[in-house]
Amino acid sequence: MHTYTEKKIQAYQKDNENRARLLIRCPDQPGIVATVSQFLYEHGANIVTSDQYTLDPEGGQFFMRIEFEYPGLIDKKADLEKDFTPIAEKFDMHYDIMYVHELKNVAIFASKEPHCLLELLWEWESGDLMANIAVVVSNHEVVRDMVESRGIPFHYIPANRDIRTQAEAQQKEILEQYNVDFIILARYMQILTPDFVKAYKNQIINIHHSFLPAFIGANPYERAFNRGVKMIGATSHYVTDDLDEGPIIEQDIGRVDHRDDVAAMKKIGQAIERSVLARAVKWHLEDRIIVHGNKTIVF
């Protein structure tokens, strides 16, 4: 890790050692916000940000994200979680408490095209991607130097449909070795098996090079060109067993016209892919996303 990056990360962890995030999903009913706020107040915590959303005040699902400062948090985590349990049971909550100074361990999967990987590495180097990039895995050697020159472990694992199970067994060993929390598919051009996806439910983020649901699958730029579209886009989503149909996190578009051939469309699209994936990853790292069915609530 570069000294600059290391200093940025250490400063971030120091600044946020008393900060936590609480994500809640439960049936909507009166008193949720008041009860949670009172709980934090009574424990001496100061709410920094609070966002909530309901699908329907009459029996719909309620979603909430609270970020708070709590002096001495590191030593009080266990008591905080234990004391919150009765409230969670009362309101039938699914909840998570995340501690901001505890950076997530990330694995990046890549193939031949490096643009999304390089965007993430640059964001991380500049101190704008607060995570520990624990390892990069690729089924090609193309990106090895880009990764290892930054002091990040690189593993080459050949993968295709004929050896998919064998490749994923090796990948799982590496993910366990590096204690990986979530995975980024930075244009990793391989389909994952249901068993692999199940092991990391809502913890695998993909970038698809089209504005889904248009042009699902391979060669979207060629199909977009043949269709004569006037805009192209990119979609970042969580991976499920249904190809390119997981919960969408972020999308963006760029305009094209009759002068743009497939190569020009691809160049425009790659710039969109980079920014869309980076935003989605940052939101995941900042615990801004709650998955509900096949949709996401992004605070």
Main-chain phi, psi angles of 212, to 5 degrees: -60, 145
The helix/strand/coil state of 91 is coil
Contact between 81 and 110 under an 8 Å Cβ cutoff? The reply is no
d(CA 232, CA 272): 9
Rg (C-alpha) for the chain, rounded Å, is 21
Amino acid sitting at position 20: A
Main-chain phi, psi angles of 28, to 5 degrees: -70, 140
Question: For the chain, how far is it from start to end, CA to CA, in angstroms?
Answer: 31
d(CA 281, CA 286): 9
Contact between 40 and 76 under an 8 Å Cβ cutoff? The reply is no
Contact between 268 and 256 under an 8 Å Cβ cutoff? The reply is yes
d(CA 175, CA 102): 18
Active centre residues (catalytic): 244
Q: Tell me how far CA of residue 189 lies from CA of 66, 214, 218, 254, 275, in angstroms.
A: 36, 18, 9, 23, 19
The two tokens of residue 252 are: 């963006």
